[in-house]
Amino acid sequence: MAAVRSASARVSGEYFICTSAAHQVCARVQWKGEDIKTAGDATIKAIGDIGGDGGLIAMDGKGRPAFPMNSSGMYRGWASSTASAATAIYADEAGPH
């Protein structure tokens, strides 16, 4: 299992604080065995369920990023040793593969 190495939340701060968003992502990966994308998506859903919106950036121990969001967009970027650096803003733009 690849542990979470980084998590950062953006936008409706009070909702991310109320749900302990970064901790929730880490706990879902460590204790539930979820991959980083699944853990991030579930955390964003929990935030949306209480009225929050925004997104988060998380990366697992193998360097795989996730950018879950329930808003129309979030500035984000990524790079790896096997692909060119890229950026995105809107939710419907493709992310890293």
Task: Render pLDDT for 13-47 as a digit per residue (tens, 0 to 9).
Answer: 677 777 788 889 999 999 999 999 999 999 999 99
Instruction: Note the pLDDT of residue 40.
Output: 94
Q: What is the CATH number of the domain that holds 79?
A: 3.60.20.30
Print the domain residue range for 68.
Answer: 4-90
Is residue 39 included in any domain, yes or no?
yes
pTM of the predicted protein model: 0.82
Amino acid at 30: Q
Residues 36 and 28: beta-carbon distance below 8 Å: no
Name the band, by pLDDT with cuts 50, 70 and 90, for residue 70: very high
Is residue 18 included in any domain, yes or no?
yes
When divided into structural domains, the chain yields a total of 1
Instruction: Note the pLDDT of residue 17.
Output: 75
Name the band, by pLDDT with cuts 50, 70 and 90, for residue 95: confident
Comparing 27 with 97, the larger pLDDT belongs to 27
Question: How many residues make up the chain in this entry?
Answer: 97
Backbone φ, ψ for residue 90 (5° rounding): -85, 155
